[in-house]
Amino acid sequence: MSLSVAIVGGLHADARRATVARLLTEVPGSVVLHHDLATAAAGTVVRTIRDATGIRSAGETPLVNDCACCALREDLVPELRRLAADGTTRLAVVELWDSVEPKAMAEVVAAGGLTVTGVITAVDPALVLPYLGNGDDLAERGLAAAATDQRTVADTFARQLEYAPVLAVTDSPEADDEDRELLAQLHPTARQVPVRDAPSQASAIAPTRPQALHNTSPSVFPPTPLARAALAGFDVEAAAAAQHPACALLPAEADAHGVCTLVWHRERPFHPERLYEALEDLTCAAARSRGRFWLADRPDTLLHWDAAGGALCVEGVGPWLASLPDGAWDMVPPVRRAAAALDWHPEHGDRCQHLVFTSPGLDRDGLERLLESCLLTDAEYAAGRDAWKRLPPAFDTLLEV
């Protein structure tokens, strides 16, 4: 029997635990592997493996380079391989610690020759906006995965949410229509699976004997929506491509229950100085904003916009395809070429502004006016590229040039 690996993560710890408990009761022959990084300050990471009846084994692994996440990477694949070799485990659920991001772990598992069949982020809809608006450093909350971890609660939660194709959504009595709509607009392509509290261990499904598990097939037990999500299959390469700024699957326009998503798409470049002066207002205009953009003085650099919790990350992520020689296009992934073709402009190629802002109470008109004011004027645009490159290099410090 081949081992399936499902990854369940998320900063919403109660929602994550409820999701994992459901999988244990709904998928015969499943176990949960968890690395507790809360003990990292003491120099170790605690690993537990449990099934529906309780803990099977527990152990410690030392830190690697003072990094709890590095220790997790070193220990995870060998443990999964041991489970696979045992032959009695059908599904290994990797329950990630709070701030661990599923993308990194899915890639580690796949690189180890194991099969990732599902990636699920567990969410309490009532907590989406509070977490998305929380600009605290993870270290301030005791959630850092390494001494050098500079992530915030907001940007970590956003990546956890947007990477997973499945969201396990708890039945939260505090959540209202606005909360649920915000979740839907932030990740409109995700499959949402409702999760209610798992039955107590006393009433849980009795564990199946190892001999019987060896012959377990998907048709033997009633496949619940959550079980199907954990076993459906997952393409690690496609998921990575969908997150790359050059071809990310960004949300579409939406407006419902007080939540709005603005998709702003233009071909004309930004004036670097005017955009820089507007960064604070643009960052605070929405709970979440992301996308790609270009500056007039940097016509060959594709820039990534990533904002949450009142903080903005701007970084160069390589060249626009239009700036590459023809011979280099063969080395570009097909998904990147396809995304470029959708935005292709006769003069600028794939260079474009494609920014998406999602928030309750979004001031669409004001936001659009501010964005438009940051573009080159007609006169500046007509001056041409040589003149653009002489504009004040306002982003040099931000981009550490």
**DSSP-assigned letter for residue 120:** E
Average pLDDT of the chain to the nearest whole number? 89
Amino acid found at 326: D
Distances (CA, A) of 131 to 62, 72, 154, 248: 31, 25, 6, 22
Of the listed ranges 167-176, 181-190, 234-243, the least confidently predicted one is 234-243
Matching CATH number, 4-243, of 3.30.160, 1.10.3470, 3.40.50, 2.60.120? 3.40.50
| Nearest by Cα to 197 from 20, 33, 48, 324 | 20
Matching CATH number, 254-388, of 3.30.360.10, 3.30.1220.10, 3.30.420.300, 2.40.50.140? 3.30.1220.10
Average pLDDT over residues 289-313: 95
The pTM of the full predicted model, rounded to 2 decimals, is 0.89
Higher pLDDT, 201 or 163: 163
- E strand or H helix at 51: strand 44-51
Tokens of 65: 């380079």
pLDDT digits (tens, 9 = 90+) for 260-294: 999 999 999 999 999 999 999 999 999 999 999 99
Tokens of 194: 């409702």
Q: What residue ranges do the domains of the chain occupy?
A: 4-243, 254-388
Q: Rounded to whole angstroms, how far apart are CA atoms 106 and 235? A: 10
**DSSP-assigned letter for residue 376:** P
Phi first, then psi, for residue 388 (nearest 5°) are -60, -40
Higher pLDDT, 71 or 178: 178
What DSSP line would sit under 258-324, residue for residue?
TEEEEEEEESSPBPHHHHHHHHHHHHHTSSEEEEEEEETTEEEEEEEEEEETTEEEEEEEEE-GGGS
Tokens of 191: 């499959």
Above 90 in pLDDT, residue 394? yes
Q: Rounded to whole angstroms, how far apart are CA atoms 265 and 353? A: 5
Above 60 in pLDDT, residue 199? no
SS3 35: strand
Rounded to the nearest 10 degrees, the angle between the axes of helix 272-284 and helix 364-373 is: 160
With cut-offs at 50, 70 and 90, classify the pLDDT of residue 222: low
pLDDT digits (tens, 9 = 90+) for 342-380: 888 898 989 999 999 999 999 999 999 999 999 999 999
Which residue has tokens 């390469």?
A: 237
Residue-level pLDDT at 87: 86
Q: Which long-range contacts (CB under 8 A, 24 or more apart) does 385-391 make?
A: 385/299, 388/269, 388/296, 388/297, 388/299, 389/296, 389/297, 389/299, 390/297, 391/271, 391/272, 391/273, 391/296, 391/297
The answer for 361, left when phi > 0, alpha when psi is -120 to 50, beta otherwise, is left
Average pLDDT over residues 76-81: 92
Residue-level pLDDT at 210: 37
Residue-level pLDDT at 1: 59
Average pLDDT over residues 229-239: 93
Cβ neighbours of residue 67 closer than 8 Å, sequence gap 6 or more:
145, 146, 147, 148
- E strand or H helix at 192: strand 191-195
